[in-house]
Each structure stands twice: as C-alpha cells, then as structure tokens.
Amino acid sequence: MKQSSAFIPTLKDSPADAEVASHRLLVRAGFMRRVASGIYELLPLGARVVRNIERIVREEMNAAGAQEVILPIMQPRELWEESGRWSKYGPEMMRLKDRADRDFGLGPTHEEVITDLVRSNVSSWRDLPLNLYQIGDKFRDEMRPRFGLLRGREFIMKDGYSFDRDEEGMRRSYQAMYDAYGRIFTRSGCTWRAVEADTGLIGGDVSHEFMVPAAVGEDDIAYCEGCDYAANVTLATFKRAEPLRGEGKAAEKVHTPEKRTIEEVSSFLGLGPDRFIKCLMFLVEDKPVAVLVPGDREANETKLERVLGTDEFRLFIEDDWKRFPSYLQGFVGPVGLQAAEVIADVALAGAGGMVCGANEEDYHLAGVDEGRDFTAGRFEDITSAREGDVCPRCSGTLRIEAGIEVGQVFQLGLKYSEPMRCYYDDEDGVSRPMVMGTYGIGVTRLMSAIIEQHHDERGMLWPLAVAPALLHILPLNYEREERRSAARELYERCQERGWEVLLDDREESAGVKFADADLIGIPYRAVVGKGYDEDGTIELQVRTTGEKNKMDMDSLMGLLQQAVDTLADERPHVS
Amino acid sequence: MKQSSAFIPTLKDSPADAEVASHRLLVRAGFMRRVASGIYELLPLGARVVRNIERIVREEMNAAGAQEVILPIMQPRELWEESGRWSKYGPEMMRLKDRADRDFGLGPTHEEVITDLVRSNVSSWRDLPLNLYQIGDKFRDEMRPRFGLLRGREFIMKDGYSFDRDEEGMRRSYQAMYDAYGRIFTRSGCTWRAVEADTGLIGGDVSHEFMVPAAVGEDDIAYCEGCDYAANVTLATFKRAEPLRGEGKAAEKVHTPEKRTIEEVSSFLGLGPDRFIKCLMFLVEDKPVAVLVPGDREANETKLERVLGTDEFRLFIEDDWKRFPSYLQGFVGPVGLQAAEVIADVALAGAGGMVCGANEEDYHLAGVDEGRDFTAGRFEDITSAREGDVCPRCSGTLRIEAGIEVGQVFQLGLKYSEPMRCYYDDEDGVSRPMVMGTYGIGVTRLMSAIIEQHHDERGMLWPLAVAPALLHILPLNYEREERRSAARELYERCQERGWEVLLDDREESAGVKFADADLIGIPYRAVVGKGYDEDGTIELQVRTTGEKNKMDMDSLMGLLQQAVDTLADERPHVS
C-alpha cells in the first residue's frame, strides 16, 4: 500500500464527541468515520485490523472444532416468539416490517435462528456435539451509544453456539471455547481476565466474561490478590465481617428533623454510616418490598434480580411513594414495617446497636438489634463487593478494576432447546433436549480495547498480529532518487513475501511523516534517510519501545522474517 | 474436516419450493437452509464457497488498486434524501425507525454513504483517483424472491465505488474494474459475457452487466454471431428491415366483430401479424400516450422509459379505459387518434398497407399508410431485439440467450457527486465535482450461478478455485483398520499442506458415501478401497470428468500439489 494513493485521512484534531483514546485515535489516524450515532465506517486501515482479528478468531474456532456458518441478519418474529424474547428484548432490538407487513428483528444475537436450524437438521446423538459460529454484523439500539466502537449500535461480532447431549458435554464444549477465547485475546495482544458474570438477556446458569482491563472500561471487576477468584462486581461476592454489636439497651427514638439521607443522619448523630440500616423500598411486580443493606453499602440490582427471581422491579419513584403513603420517604425503617417482603443483606444478620428510620416523620431509631427489634424474611447476598473486601474463596483481599468486556461465554443449558423443542434421540431412542452453550466476541469492540491497552500520547501501538501492516517504510526527502529507489526495493521485497507494508511515498516533510506514522502505529518502521546516503543503512525503529537500529536491507529483511515466523508459530496446528 | 462431525445435513429429496438446480442442490447437499422468504442460512460448506469467492474478489480488487472498507448496513434517511433516492427506491428498500424515531434504510447499495465519506475527507486532486470497495450484506425487499440465492432479500455483495478528476479518469477506473470483473468470473470457473446494460435505479450513462449464460437466467441477452456486440435485450438495438409497402389504395374499414387482439384479427383476416400496427395506450404522468409497434413485436418498457424520460408510466388499466372512454379497448388505432403524444417504433416509419384499429367498436382499418393516413410525433427504438434480428454494428445475426447477471459496472458521472456536492479542488484551485463509477458483484448469487453452469444429475461440480474442499477422501468400509489408517494419513498430509479436505469417516455403505460425494461435488476424490488392500493404491477420481486413476499416496499428493500450484498461478501478482 502506497500512502500517496491510500485512503488514510489523518486529522490534526480529535473529534469533539470522542471521550476515549480508542475513539479519538481511530478517527484521527483515519481508521474510521462516524455515519450516525453509534454507526461507523471502517476505512482501509481499520478494515485491515478487523480482518486480522477475524482471521485469528477463525483459526482458533476452527482449531477448536467449531464450524463457520453465515446466518441472516433479518430474523422472523415467529422464532423470537418461541423463545419469548420478542417482547423481552424491548427497544434494544432493531425491528422492521417487510412489504408484506411481516415483522423482523435485526439480529442482536442468534440463539433462536441457530436453535431452529439445529432442531430441523439434527436428530441423532451421533450428530452431537455440534459447535457452529459466524462472524458478522449485529445490531443493538443502545440507549446511549458512546465511546466509538466500544458501544455502537451496528458492530461486528463473532457468535457461536454449541449443542451437546448432556450437561457434561456442554461443560466440555464450554471449556473448549473458554480456552480458545483466552488464546484469541492473547494472540490479539491483550492482557485479559476471565471473570464470573451475570447471564442477563441471554440467559443460562454459568457465564464468564473476558475483560480487558482499561481505565475507560464500563464494567467493574472484583479480583482477589491471593487466588484466581474474579467476577464482575454485579455478581462478585465477598465474606462479610462479623456483625456490629449493640450494648443490649432498648432501642430509642431520636429526633432527626429534616435529616433524610444516611449521610445527613450519620453526621447529625456522629455515627459512622456502617452503623445504619438503609431501608430501600422497591416495587416488585406491583408489590412493595423492603430491601435492607448496611448504610455504607449499595444494593446491587443484578444480585437483587436473582434473589427476586424477576426483572420486573424498580426503586420507588414519586408515584409509588404517593400510592403507599404509610412509607415515609427518608424515615422508613424495618422496625414494625409492613411490606410484601423484607429482604436483608447477609451482613445484617445478628447486627445490633444499629440506627434506622422510625417510620415517623423526623425520627430515627437508635440501638436497634436484628432478631430482637426486627428481622427479615430472607438474608441474602445483595450488596456489591468493593476494594478491600474479603475474598469469598481464600480470604485474601479483593481489588476492583475497570475493564472492557470483549467476550462472554454462557452455559445455556435448556433455556432455548426446551421451549423451542430442540431435541435429539439418544442411544436408547429416548428423545432428549440438547444442552446448549453460547459464545460471543465483539470484534470491533476488541479492536478498540486493544487500542485502549496499546497507545501513547502520539498515537496507537498495534500488536503485530492485528496491525494494519508489518512495516511502515519512511523515506525522508522522497524526491531524492537514491532513497526513493531503496524504499521501493524494500517495499517490493516485502510484497514478494506477502507481507502487508505501507510505503510513505508522499513528498511531505519528515515531521509530517513521523507524526502520521506515530499516529497510525505500525509496529516496525524503516527510515531511509541520511544513513542510507552515508553507508547504505536503514534505521529500523520499533514503535512500541522506541528502539532504533541501523542495518542494511538484508539484515532488516531477516529481522522482519523472524518476527513473521514468531507470529506464525502462534497459529494453531489444525488436525 | 471430518464428515462424522461436520454439519452437512444432506437430503434425499429436493425442497418443494426449489425451481432451479442451484437452489435444489444447495439445499440437498446441506450447503444452505431457508429461514424466511428470500432469506437463507449458509451452512459450513456453503460458507466455505462464499469465503473462497470473497477471497478471489479481494485479491483482484486489491491488485486493481481498490481499497477495502466496511460500510454500515444502517443508513440514515438524510443521506438518501440528498440523492433523491429515499422516495425513489420505494418498497424495495427495507426501512426502520430507531428508538429515537429516526429513519434508516438497510443498504441495498451504498452510493450515498460512500459519497458522503469521500466529500468529507477528500478535497484535493492529489487524492484522486480513489477506488473503495466492501464485501457485505445487502438488503432488497424483492416483490417475488425466488430461485434460492439467485433472487434473495438478504444477500452478500461486493460493491465498489471510484472517484476521479474527470471523465477520462472515470473511464480508466471503469475499464480497470471491467477487466478485474472478467478475471474474477473466469477464476470462479464461469463462462461469462459482458453486455451493454440499462442503468436503472443506480443511474448513470454507460453500464455493462456480466452475464453467466444459464437456462434459468432471468435476463435475456442479445449477442451477435459475427462481432462482439452484446446487450441486455432491455437495451439491445437492431437494424430494422425495410418497411412493408402497401398497394397505394385508400384505407378501408373492415368489420371485425369481437376481434380485439392482433392474433384474433390476424387469423380472422388471414394476414401476418407483421402487417398490423399495435396501438398501445399508456398513462404517462397522468396523460394518455399512444405507443405504436409492429404487430409481431412487443413494446420494451426499459427503452420506453428512456424515450419518455420518466419512470412514471403504465399500460392502461381498467380505470384508465373508463376515464378516457374515447379510446375503445381492442379497436384503438393511430388514424385520427387524439393523444398527448404518439410515439412509434422506427420500424413503422414509411410502412404501408398496414392494418390497425379503426377507433370504432368491431372495426379495423386495412391498407393504412404511415405518412398518408397518420404519422407519429416521434419514431424511436422501442421494441425488443429477438433471435435472428440484424446486428446494429456489423449486420450479422443476433442470437438470444438467457443469463444470470452476476455483476454490473456503471459509469455514474456526476449523478451523485453533483447533488451531494462531492467536489475537489483541481491543480488551479478550481472546485470541480468528482466523476464517479460504481461496481457490484453478487457474491451469493455468483455461487448459485456457478452451480447452474456446473452440475449434473447427481450433484454439483465445483470448480477448484471456489470448491468447499480440494479433496474428498472416501475410505470404503471404514471399520477396516488398514484403510482407515491410510485415509487418516492422507488426511493429515493434506492438512499439513494447508489444504481443505473432507474425510468421510462415517461408517456408512459405499453407496451412501458415493451418493453424498457426488451431491457435494468436491473436485477430487480419493477412494481407499480394495485397491489399497491389494497393492497399496488409492483411486483418484475427478468429479467433473469421471476420470479414475490408481496411484500410490505420494503420486496422489504430487498430482494434487500440481493442481494447487496451477490455481496459485492464477492469483494476481501484487505490487
């Protein structure tokens, strides 16, 4: 690729709407442009990176025994009605009607389509296990698209689905995908962490997310310093400290005029927030439910959903307070409280000497003991882990870090095969539901995540395996015939070996060339300049380390060949 | 790929809705399945063929200097309003609203998006020419989806767009794409013909379609036996014979009770249909227009559209006949006719002794001479060429054949750059519109077209370059240990060379194995059977020719290597 004719529209300034490095740099370096909110065009260099990631994904999927298919983007409503997700998916699914007024969704994921395909074409235990994947466009009408490709509305995903005869088979398939995912992210140049995760709209029992730690990540991960425990904070659990104890005295009413929040009452009474019981009112399937958590903790809605067994719940809004006037906003407390259910965090079991709302305007109760003054219908794990909490597995210390979710794997079990009647006949002729798994990688999101981990103030630092080119050839003062012909010779020698290279054949100043090269971030750079005039050497620069070495063209080719060979060694051996 | 675990659900019976061989065979051989009308899933073997075609397309595009991009499927209405196509495209465009109630179309083609990209990022003559392409999903809500992938509603296309400084540059870009297209279709194993074509909804002045001759083709191509003239019949012109002459007598009224059609009147009067003037009434932009063609010819609506300069016209329907009662259905004729315009085919200029409707119930006129009894406002080329007509270029004989359109190239000129203000500054600083071309290949349609040209009664006959595998290994009686280990050895040796091979490791009868292999149509087949027990030979069979040769494994590997090398020689040399 010659830069004079390549479409690489670099920009001096960052786009106004770019809040994160990957978004900023992809636009500035001419890798992508915005078409509409959450919808982007990938230009030649961006498309190359995507194709490189796709190649790694394909190699690892094929090596792990998965088979590539191509599923349609348009999915008929009828299939989604079978799984119950047509209504459940809500406005996140892009929908349209065809000219015959039939409803279609633009696939945000393909469980329904693949389950339909397999139930119609597989009927015997002999044909299982089966693992199918595709790489293609996905659509999600995000409420708030942001961060460029990190949260877009149209994006490229690899999605895969496994079908097994039993739970044990599913776990094997799951593990194979889990391992392959790890290799994919490693080969793509990322450091990553697999964490226990919630299953959300996809469903199923067990799930792991693959997180690329990065400051801009929208997920928080809790991980243990001492063992390999790691989980999304929406799910992470932790060992509670011994409950606080009171002095055994009876609870007493305290006047707390106009003090409604924990912060206000805590500072008014001079007691730490951990001495308080936060009593949160939720409307759960149209009934009032009280949720108790320690005053210094937040209720975790994902955990709450699991505990409640429904996603139809919300924290009281203005209307709810009006509808149930016996709950006094700011002064609700568990003592003497009437509610459909009272659920407390396990930390509150046995706690004493606590402060809580008195269910009376401008009053709190102090010296409240759980067990004596109130109790809960259930004690559950409903608060989020935070930095410094105790690991549930080894009692080490938990740390919290931000991460970008680049992949997720799910043990689905029978979630789709049961309602959609995806059955097979076992060796005894008995009809059984297939046990499924589902596996996704955000390809375009991974591209952004790689940049978040690999950039500096001057531009991107592409890992070799996904880089848009191996080598950037920079002849300085291109009008000088000798330098030009040396650069061209090098270019042609690389092309002959099938390597992607970018030759900066523009008649631009050295400053412009270096700035663009830094921005674009191709791993190796060959500078043909003064050294070439003096003794025929070319300077090989490594973008990541800044390392520079002068050498003749043959040595340079040798070094690059080594890098290419090392990369090839990472490819799976297919058999 | 081992057949025991590969997802290749072959069927004994053809699907009921499959009218053509490619549709039938793709389903029967387990290459694809239907999801909804015009929407299909490609299974592993189908996906492989598509990827192979895509690879060829990529290689030729890159070699021709085009650069790959990835454009979004969702396109904002605003861009399509700029080109005027939001309303013009009509119900063929799939449309949706996002959660903010904004209108989007699912790209049936990408002129608007790419023009917007280029106008925002290219401003200098130095950056031109520019040629960008993508390979991706396209959507067209066909009125009548049919023939499987030949006319689907969701399909894979390669679309490309060139931007030049002037007409001459555009013609160079066009020629480069035209040449690349020819190589792509040749490498894909097709015989093809490039024909002059109409520009339809895409627009522009000059266009060629790449046609793969096939009986099921929906297009008719006229081509000359004597020279290289070839055009879609919607466009093909031909030299008219000398007009018929009359005997100079005055026209006379003939009673033709209840005879309305040319056929009825012709047989009633005992005169050939070429003696008749067919007078067709069209409603053009709400006005009645009479169109005259020889009685043995049809009016060609594509030519008519060009002549009328509008696509807003239709042949009279019942309502129109009622609205304009002075036109008597079945007895309309040009003599004394009042219409907004009268347009006649050039063949009628100077024709005499003709028969036409008398504009009176149950009467025709005979002995009518053009010029004396009537004339037309314009004489134009408005009828279709047919078998045996005279070539407009060399006076040779025209032949008509059916073809499948697998690609089309257009010289767009300023059609998009002018209304969308896609301008550049020339060397003198003068702002000029870019001159565009647009180029498309139906990737999934090409897969079907290849099959239409390459199949027999037993199954498909894949050309090597696009085949789902190079070799199909068929060990007969797989339970025999020696044959099994020989088959596996061959399989592994092929894998080591990076070749795609399919090993039939199923414990099926030879009959089932051969039937499936014939259906799937992999070019080479290695049968490990009796010969192997006797003298260690394997039978190499060629699917297309049926040729069979016994040889040892090394010789077989040598022959396959030759085939692979020959294929590699067809790849373009990139520089």
Instruction: Kindly report, residue by residue over B57-106, the tens digit of the pLDDT.
Output: 999 999 999 999 999 999 999 999 999 999 988 899 999 999 999 999 99
Note whether B244 and B275 are within 8 A (CB): yes
B575 pLDDT higher than 60: no
Pick the range with the lowest mean pLDDT from A166-180, B10-24, B436-450.
B10-24
Would you give the distance in Å from CA B528 to the centre of its chain? 42
Note whether A440 and A157 are within 8 A (CB): yes
Q: What is the DSSP letter of B284?
A: E
Q: Is B404 on the interface with A (CB under 8 A)?
A: no
B49 pLDDT higher than 80: yes
Alpha-carbon distance B170 to B415, whole Å? 13
Query: For tokens 């291109």, what's the residue?
Result: A478
Whole-number pLDDT of residue A200 = 72
Q: Does A462 or B306 have the greater pLDDT score?
A: A462
Note whether B517 and B3 are within 8 A (CB): no
Nearest Cα to Cα of residue A515 among A16, A17, A11: A11
Q: For chain B, positions 146-165, list CB contacts with chain A under 8 A.
A: 153-154, 156
Whole-number pLDDT of residue B20 = 95
Q: Does A202 or B226 have the greater pLDDT score?
A: B226
Burial zone of A63 (CB within 10 Å; 0-12 exposed, 13-18 middle, 19+ buried): middle
DSSP secondary structure letters along A54-74: HHHHHHHHHHTT-EE-B--SE
pLDDT tens column, B343-372: 999 999 999 999 999 999 999 999 999 999
**% of chain A beyond a pLDDT of 90:** 89
Tell me the residue ranges of DSSP E strands in B303-381: 313-315, 341-345, 354-360, 363-368, 378-380
Q: Is B568 on the interface with A (CB under 8 A)?
A: no
Cβ contact A69–B137 (<8 Å): no
Interval B242-262 mean pLDDT: 89
Q: How far is A44 from chain B (nearest CA, A)?
A: 5
Whole-number pLDDT of residue B517 = 98
Angle CA(A173)–CA(A176)–CA(A181) in degrees, nearest 5? 125
Q: Is A219 on the interface with B (CB under 8 A)?
A: no
Alpha carbon separation from B499 to A304, A528, B474, B491 (Å, rounded): 53, 40, 16, 9
Alpha-carbon distance B480 to B450, whole Å? 37
Cis omega (within 30 of 0) for bond into B108: no
Nearest Cα to Cα of residue B530 among B570, B475, B472: B475
Note whether A528 and A538 are within 8 A (CB): yes
DSSP secondary structure letters along A368-423: E-BTTTB--SEEE--B---TTPBPTTTS-BEEEEEEEEEEEEEEEETTTTTTTT-E
B201 pLDDT band, cuts 50/70/90, is low
Alpha-carbon distance B45 to B38, whole Å? 20
Q: How far is B100 from chain A (nearest CA, A)?
A: 9
Q: What are the structure tokens assigned to B228, written together?
A: 């290289």
HEC profile of B170-237: HHHHHHHHHHHHHHHHHHCCCCCEEEECCCCCCCCCEEEEEEEECCCCCEEEEEECCCCCEEECCCCC
For residue B91, give the 3-state DSSP assignment. Answer: helix
Alpha-carbon distance B185 to B191, whole Å? 7
Whole-number pLDDT of residue A198 = 80
Domains of chain A: 48-205+410-452 (3.30.930.10), 252-380 (3.90.960.10), 469-569 (3.40.50.800)
The half-sphere exposure of A555 on its side-chain side, counting CA atoms within 13 A, is 9
Q: How far is B70 from chain A (nearest CA, A)?
A: 5
Nearest Cα to Cα of residue A191 among A449, A455, A410, A520: A449
Q: For chain A, positions 121-140, list CB contacts with chain B under 8 A.
A: 121-122, 126-127, 130, 132, 134, 136-137, 139
Q: Give the pairing of strands B252-255 and A252-255.
A: unpaired
Residues of chain A with pLDDT below 50 are 575
Q: CB neighbours of B498 closer than 8 A, spacing ≥ 6?
A: none
Q: Is A574 on the interface with B (CB under 8 A)?
A: yes
Alpha-carbon distance A159 to A164, whole Å? 17
Alpha-carbon distance B140 to B153, whole Å? 5
Q: What is the DSSP letter of B3?
A: T
Alpha-carbon distance B112 to B109, whole Å? 8
Alpha carbon separation from B526 to A109, B418, B475 (Å, rounded): 40, 59, 8
- Torsion sign, CA atoms B386, B388, B390, B392: positive
B574 pLDDT band, cuts 50/70/90, is low
Cβ contact B121–A33 (<8 Å): yes
Query: For tokens 């063949």, what's the residue?
Result: B347
Q: What are the structure tokens assigned to B467, written together?
A: 């085949």
Q: What are the structure tokens assigned to B47, written together?
A: 């996906």
Cβ contact B130–A91 (<8 Å): no
Q: Is A81 on the interface with B (CB under 8 A)?
A: no
Name the phi and psi angles at A231, rounded to 5. -155, 155
- Residues from chain B that touch A102, judged by Cβ atoms under 8 A, are 36
Considering only CB atoms, B575 lies closest to which of A67, A76, A492, namely A492
Q: Is A67 on the interface with B (CB under 8 A)?
A: yes
Q: What is the DSSP letter of B374?
A: B
Which residue of chain A comes nearest to B128, CA vs CA?
A: A5
Whole-number pLDDT of residue B322 = 96
**In angstroms, what is the C-alpha Rg of chain A?**
29
Whole-number pLDDT of residue A201 = 66
**In angstroms, what is the C-alpha Rg of chain B?**
29
Cβ contact A154–B42 (<8 Å): no
Note whether A549 and A539 are within 8 A (CB): yes
Q: Is B335 on the interface with A (CB under 8 A)?
A: no
Q: Dihedral, CA atoms, B407, B411, B417, B423, nearest 10 degrees?
A: 120
Whole-number pLDDT of residue B205 = 78
Whole-number pLDDT of residue A182 = 97
Alpha-carbon distance A350 to A347, whole Å? 8
Cβ contact B575–A48 (<8 Å): no
DSSP secondary structure letters along A144-168: S-BTGGGB-SEEEEEEEEEEESSHH
For residue B542, give the 3-state DSSP assignment. Answer: strand
pLDDT tens column, B102-124: 999 999 999 999 999 999 999 99
Alpha-carbon distance A82 to B290, whole Å? 55
Would you give the distance in Å from CA A564 to the centre of its chain? 30
Which residue of chain B comes nearest to A43, CA vs CA?
A: B69
Alpha-carbon distance A254 to A465, whole Å? 66
Note whether B514 and B476 are within 8 A (CB): no
Interval B21-29 mean pLDDT: 97
Note whether B26 and B32 are within 8 A (CB): yes
**% of chain B beyond a pLDDT of 70:** 99
Helices and strands, number each (H, E), in chain A: 14, 31
Interval B536-555 mean pLDDT: 96
For residue A102, give the 3-state DSSP assignment. Answer: coil
Nearest Cα to Cα of residue B575 among A97, A493, A209: A493
Q: Is A29 on the interface with B (CB under 8 A)?
A: no
Query: For tokens 């063209």, what's the residue?
Result: A553
Whole-number pLDDT of residue B17 = 87
Q: What is the ipTM of this complex?
A: 0.91
The conformational region for residue A30 under phi > 0 = left, psi -120 to 50 = alpha, else beta, is left
